[in-house]
């Protein structure tokens, strides 16, 4: 039955109106935070993605060989393209770079709730600033985006974590360097896996120490206050100026900024968030519905070495950013009754009695359209009753009636389709009259 490819969507006008409405909100909020919109190609060299993520990623890409023999792929994410844009002009771009992007992405994966093969993603990145103030700005933007879509902190929370804190934890426990990335992976999964499986995985990596390690991990994950984090980090410290002490200071700066920016209510400290990706280097976060079940609304974090890696070392800039997907966002809004029905009706619906009246109505439609009104009229000859019915169903704000009487008197009858009230106006001053009526908030019913 399905006419589109699996994981792809058709957007009928009502659907697209809703999508555009949401996108307009996202764009507007991003601009308020002084982020600039950019774009990049949808189709990129396959290598761009293999370099970042390895060969295995190819099975999850839409990729093919083009007629020129080039291996190409539809973009599954934006970061590699962004890194190229930034690296190419790293010298001349004013720092910090605050850019955002809203576009379609493609991943060849099993479609599920909240995850399709084609989806739109809002990306925001802040490049060239390594301090936690940049992370705070991004998180504040994320919270604002969700709030302006109608959500609030009782519906969603941004779970905040830090990979450096985890590294210091591993360091403190004297875990060999080569096992750290695997352990972070196990820790990342531990929140959505049953404890037995986690214990088993830990025991494999650290024979004999699995249980003790798991207890220590759970203890760290249970911390949900700045004081708790600070205390724990100082327990890793050897001196007042080592990395653990500096990280405690970073946490303090970040949390204080988030407080000042007014979004602390939407933040939960939760070290259970690690994010699977190896390239994250600092604070990481994911936005979730508090109701629990659904997948992350958004996710992001700091990736200080990625631009260097993707640019082949030609430029090295600290960076941080997040992505917000349209599928989970729309699901969340719908579940909370916040998906608006967008009215796509015209401003004016013209109703004409006969041939002569129609000529005048069409002439007016031309004037009105040039003046900026969305104008429509029935394409076929129809009776008044029928035309009024159509006018009502069209969603138009006003009907303009061109009948025999109006034509003879050089007038047009304006009908407010919401209130049902009518007013005859001089044909020559129609636009002025319409403006006055709109100014007054419509035509009132005579009492």
Looking at the Cβ atoms of 11 and 384, the one nearer to RNA is 384
CB 161 within 8 A of CB 220: no
Q: x/- binding map, residues 389-428, to RNA, per CB under 7 A?
A: x-xxx-------x-xxxx------x-x-xx-x-x------
144, 263 contact by CB (below 8 A): yes
Tokens in use for 36?
């600039």
Q: Is 206 left (phi over 0), alpha (psi -120 to 50) or beta?
A: beta
The β-bridge relationship of strands 422-426 and 97-106 is unpaired
With 0-12 / 13-18 / 19 or more C-beta atoms within 10 angstroms meaning exposed / middle / buried, residue 387 is buried
Tell me: does residue 354 bind RNA (CB under 7 A).
yes
At its nearest, how many Å lie between RNA and the CB of residue 357? 8
CA atoms within 13 A on the CB side of 59: 3
- Is residue 13 a contact residue for RNA (CB under 7 A)? no
**282 lines the binding site for RNA (CB under 7 A):** no
Across-strand partners of 97? 127
Q: Which two tokens stand for residue 409?
A: 């008197």
Q: Are 289 and 332 in contact (CB under 8 A)?
A: yes
Is the Cβ of residue 282 or residue 353 nearer to RNA in the bound state? 353
Cis peptide leading into residue 96 (ω within 30°): yes
Assess 193 for contact with RNA (CB under 7 A).
Answer: yes
Q: Does 441 bind RNA (CB under 7 A)?
A: no
Between helix 210-221 and helix 163-172 the angle, nearest 10°, is 140
Shortest distance (Å) from residue 45 CB to RNA = 14
What is the spatial order of strands in the sheet that 63-65 belongs to?
Answer: 43-45, 71-74, 63-65
User: Does 345 help bind RNA (rule: CB under 7 A)?
Assistant: no
Cα–Cα distance between 104 and 78 in angstroms, integer? 10
Label residue 237 exposed, middle or buried (CB < 10 Å: 0-12, 13-18, 19+): middle
Task: Single out the residue of 22, 26, 30, 61 in contact with RNA (rule: CB under 7 A).
Answer: 61
- Residue 57 within binding range of RNA, rule CB under 7 A: yes
Our finding on whether 54 is near RNA (CB under 7 A) is no
CB of 262 to RNA, least distance (A): 27
Counting residues that bind RNA (by CB under 7 A) gives: 55
Which of 238, 290 has the CB closer to RNA? 290
Position 383 contacts RNA (CB under 7 A): yes
Is the Cβ of residue 60 or residue 311 nearer to RNA in the bound state?
60
Q: What are phi and psi of 413, to 5 degrees?
A: -100, 125
159 part of the interface to RNA, by CB under 7 A: no
In the chain, how many H helices and how many E strands? 16, 16
- Asked whether position 381 contacts RNA by CB under 7 A, the answer is yes
Q: Which stretch binds RNA (CB under 7 A): 124-132, 218-226, 274-282, 431-439?
A: 274-282
Min dist CB 445 to RNA, Å, is 10
Q: Report the alpha-carbon distance of residue 121 to residue 187 in Å, rounded.
A: 27
Among 2, 67, 92, 447, binds RNA (CB under 7 A): 2
Q: Taking CB under 7 A as the criterion, which residues in 210-239 touch RNA?
A: none
> Minimal distance in Å, beta carbon 370 to RNA?
25
> What CA–CA distances, in Å, run from 194 to 97, 160, 161, 191, 228?
41, 22, 21, 8, 25
3-state secondary structure of 71: strand
Task: Assess 292 for contact with RNA (CB under 7 A).
Answer: no
Q: Does 386 contact RNA by CB under 7 A?
A: yes
Decide if residue 46 touches RNA (CB under 7 A).
no
Q: By CB under 7 A, tell whether 253 contacts RNA.
A: no
Helix (H) or strand (E) holding 286: strand 283-289
- Give me the least distance between CB of 164 and RNA, in Å please: 18
* Position 138 contacts RNA (CB under 7 A): no
Question: Whose Cβ is closer to RNA: residue 98's or residue 415's?
Answer: 415
x-or-dash string of contact with RNA, 65-84, rule CB under 7 A: -----------xx-x-----
Among 48, 85, 93, 111, binds RNA (CB under 7 A): 111
**Contact positions toward RNA, by CB under 7 A?**
1-2, 6-7, 49, 53, 57, 60-61, 76-77, 79, 107, 109-115, 189, 192-193, 275-277, 293, 295, 299, 323, 353-354, 380-386, 388-389, 391-393, 401, 403-406, 413, 415, 417-418, 420, 422
């Amino acid at each position: 039955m399905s006419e589109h490819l699996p994981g792809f969507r058709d957007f009928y006008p009502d659907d697209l109106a809703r999508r555009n409405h949401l996108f307009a909100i996202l764009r507007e909020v991003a601009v308020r935070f002084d982020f600039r919109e950019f774009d990049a190609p949808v189709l990129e060299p396959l290598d761009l993605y293999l370099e970042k993520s390895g060969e295995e990623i190819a099975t999850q890409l839409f990729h093919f060989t083009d007629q020129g023999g080039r291996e190409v792929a539809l973009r599954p994410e934006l970061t590699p393209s962004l890194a190229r844009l930034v690296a190419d002009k790293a010298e001349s771009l004013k720092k910090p770079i605050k850019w955002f992007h809203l576009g379609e992405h493609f991943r060849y994966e099993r479609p599920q709730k909240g995850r399709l093969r084609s989806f739109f993603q809002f990306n925001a990145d802040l490049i060239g600033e390594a301090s936690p103030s940049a992370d705070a700005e991004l998180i504040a933007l994320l919270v604002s985006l969700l709030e302006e879509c109608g959500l609030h902190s009782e519906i969603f929370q941004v779970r905040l974590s830090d990979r450096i804190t985890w590294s210091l934890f591993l360091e403190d426990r004297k875990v060999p360097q080569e096992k750290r990335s695997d352990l972070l992976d196990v820790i990342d999964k531990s929140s959505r896996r049953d404890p037995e499986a986690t214990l088993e995985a830990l025991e494999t990596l650290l024979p004999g120490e699995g249980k003790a390690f798991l207890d220590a991990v759970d203890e760290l994950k249970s911390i949900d206050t700045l004081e708790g984090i600070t205390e724990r980090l100082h327990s890793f410290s050897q001196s007042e100026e080592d990395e653990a002490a500096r990280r405690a200071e970073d946490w303090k700066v970040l949390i204080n900024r988030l407080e000042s920016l007014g979004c602390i209510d939407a933040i939960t400290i939760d070290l259970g968030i690690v994010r699977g990706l190896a390239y994250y280097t600092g604070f990481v976060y994911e936005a979730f519905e508090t109701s629990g079940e659904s997948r992350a609304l958004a996710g992001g974090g700091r990736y200080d070495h990625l631009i260097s890696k993707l640019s082949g070392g030609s430029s090295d800039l600290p960076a941080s950013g997040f992505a917000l997907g349209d599928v989970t966002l729309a699901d969340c809004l719908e579940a909370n009754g916040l998906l608006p029905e967008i009215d796509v009706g015209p401003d004016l619906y013209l109703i004409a009695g006969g041939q002569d009246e129609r000529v005048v109505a069409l002439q007016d439609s031309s004037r009105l359209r040039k003046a900026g009104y969305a104008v429509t009229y029935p394409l076929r000859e129809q009776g008044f009753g029928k035309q009024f019915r159509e006018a009502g169903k069209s969603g138009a704000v006003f009907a303009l009636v061109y009948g025999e009487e109006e034509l003879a008197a050089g007038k047009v009858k304006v009908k407010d389709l919401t209130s049902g009230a009518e007013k005859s106006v001089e044909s020559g001053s129609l636009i002025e009259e319409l403006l006055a009526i709109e100014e007054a908030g419509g035509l009132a019913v005579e009492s």
